[in-house]
């Protein structure tokens, strides 16, 4: 099949980027989106041009490395699919695909389709530890957890941190990501011990990173490759609200991100 890839090319954050159109003559419909980019990069390299930079690792939809906008939708038109799992047969012959990186202040631009998502790492780090007994491994099922609760925790824990929720949100909010990371621990008895401190700290770090705020519109869950539900955001809000009312200890400290390149973002 024939496709035209219109890709955002930008060397670095100081460069002024632009879209460049690449006609692709012979696209195998069974290829994934990333394999299509591999083929393009092959030809670009042979022509002596700079290949398109994009992030990838496992290519089976579970690592969270890949992701970019395709025709204005994060991870492309297929629901619950990362771009590495998106096969080209979902497009029609002759389509033009507009490929653009995630755009958010909290995700400083790196190159072409790559952005720096370490803000997510700092939010996870702000969550801190979970209290567990040291010594021998505990007996299985020593703490009873209902199947429904275990399912809720697993649904939230399915988050791979790809950043599509931020990219799709009109406010560039990280509520679905932070909510998933709060919820997958706080619904379980093991995670309840630090639930208050964790919610306050992670929300504080999320705000510190310069993400927007959640307006409950639901674009994030629509593009999420793991279909994480909006319930995790409610969980975060509830934990935050409860913790704000009853907290006794010192307020949460946050880590201010400092980038030594110019944070002019693009």
Partner 1 sequence: MSTTAVSLRQSRAAAFWYSTTGKKIVMAITGAMLFLFVIGHMVGNLQIFEGREKLNAYGHLLHSLSEPLWAVRAVLIAAIVLHIIATVQLALRNKAARPVGYSRREAINSSYASRTMYWSGPIVLAFVIFHLLHLTAGIIVPGAAFIDGDVYHNVVSGFEVWWVSVWYIFAICLLGFHLRHGIWSMFQSVGLNHPRYTPLLKQAAIWIAAIIVIGYISIPISVLLGLVKE
Give the interface with partner 1 as residue ranges (CB under 8 A).
Answer: 19, 69, 71-73, 98, 100, 103-106, 109, 116, 118, 122, 168, 170-173, 200, 203-204, 206-208, 210-219, 221-223, 229-231, 233-242, 244, 247, 251-260, 265-266
Q: Nearer to partner 1 by C-beta: 31 or 230?
A: 230
| DSSP per-residue string spanning 191-233 | HHTTHHHHHHHHHHHHHHTT-B---S--HHHHH-TT---THHH
Distance CA 225, CA 223 (A): 6
Q: At closest approach, how far in Å is the CB of 229 from partner 1?
A: 8
Q: Which two tokens stand for residue 230?
A: 């909006």
Q: Nearer to partner 1 by C-beta: 12 or 28?
A: 12
CA atoms within 13 A on the CB side of 129: 3
What's the chain's length in residues? Answer: 266
Q: At closest approach, how far in Å is the CB of 56 from partner 1?
A: 21
Distance CA 114, CA 65 (A): 10
Q: At closest approach, how far in Å is the CB of 132 from partner 1?
A: 26
Q: Nearer to partner 1 by C-beta: 32 or 205?
A: 205
Q: Nearer to partner 1 by C-beta: 31 or 113?
A: 113
Going by C-alpha positions, the residue among 40, 44, 67, 45 that lies closest to residue 55 is 67
Q: Nearer to partner 1 by C-beta: 41 or 265?
A: 265
Q: Nearer to partner 1 by C-beta: 17 or 59?
A: 17
Q: Answer yes or no: are the C-beta atoms of 143 and 192 closer than 8 Å.
A: no
Q: Nearer to partner 1 by C-beta: 59 or 247?
A: 247
Per DSSP (E only), the strands in 44-176 are: 69-70, 73-74, 96-100, 109-111, 114-115
Q: At closest approach, how far in Å is the CB of 206 from partner 1?
A: 8
Q: Which two tokens stand for residue 192?
A: 């309840």
Q: At closest approach, how far in Å is the CB of 54 from partner 1?
A: 17
Only one residue has tokens 């496709």, namely 3
Q: At closest approach, how far in Å is the CB of 186 from partner 1?
A: 11
Distance CA 223, CA 75 (A): 7
What angle, rounded to 10 degrees, do the helices at 195-208 and 175-186 form?
A: 170
Q: List residues bridging with 18 in a β-sheet.
A: 9
Q: At closest approach, how far in Å is the CB of 64 from partner 1?
A: 19
């Amino acid at each position: 099949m024939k496709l035209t890839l219109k890709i955002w090319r930008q060397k670095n954050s100081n460069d002024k980027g632009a879209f460049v159109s690449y006609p692709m003559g012979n696209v195998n419909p069974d290829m994934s989106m990333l394999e299509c980019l591999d083929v393009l990069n092959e030809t670009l390299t042979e022509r002596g041009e700079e290949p398109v930079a994009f992030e990838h690792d496992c290519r089976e939809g579970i690592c969270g490395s890949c992701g970019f906008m395709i025709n204005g939708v994060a991870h492309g038109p297929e629901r619950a699919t990362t771009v590495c799992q998106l096969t080209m047969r979902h497009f029609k012959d002759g389509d033009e695909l507009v490929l653009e990186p995630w755009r958010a202040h909290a995700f400083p631009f790196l190159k072409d389709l790559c952005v720096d998502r370490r803000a997510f790492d700092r939010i996870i780090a702000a969550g801190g530890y979970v209290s567990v007994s040291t010594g021998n491994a505990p007996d299985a099922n020593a703490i009873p957890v209902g199947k429904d609760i275990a399912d809720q925790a697993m649904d939230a824990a399915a988050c791979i941190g790809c950043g599509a929720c931020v990219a799709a949100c009109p406010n560039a909010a990280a509520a679905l990501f932070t909510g998933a990371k709060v919820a997958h621990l706080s619904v379980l008895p093991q995670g309840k011990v630090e639930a208050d401190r964790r919610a306050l700290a992670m929300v504080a770090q999320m705000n510190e990173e310069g993400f927007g705020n959640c307006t409950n519109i639901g674009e994030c869950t629509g593009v999420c490759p793991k279909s994480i539900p909006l319930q995790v955001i409610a969980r975060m809000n509830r934990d935050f609200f409860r913790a704000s009312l009853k907290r006794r200890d010192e307020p949460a400290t946050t880590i201010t991100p400092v980038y030594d390149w110019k944070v002019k973002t693009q």
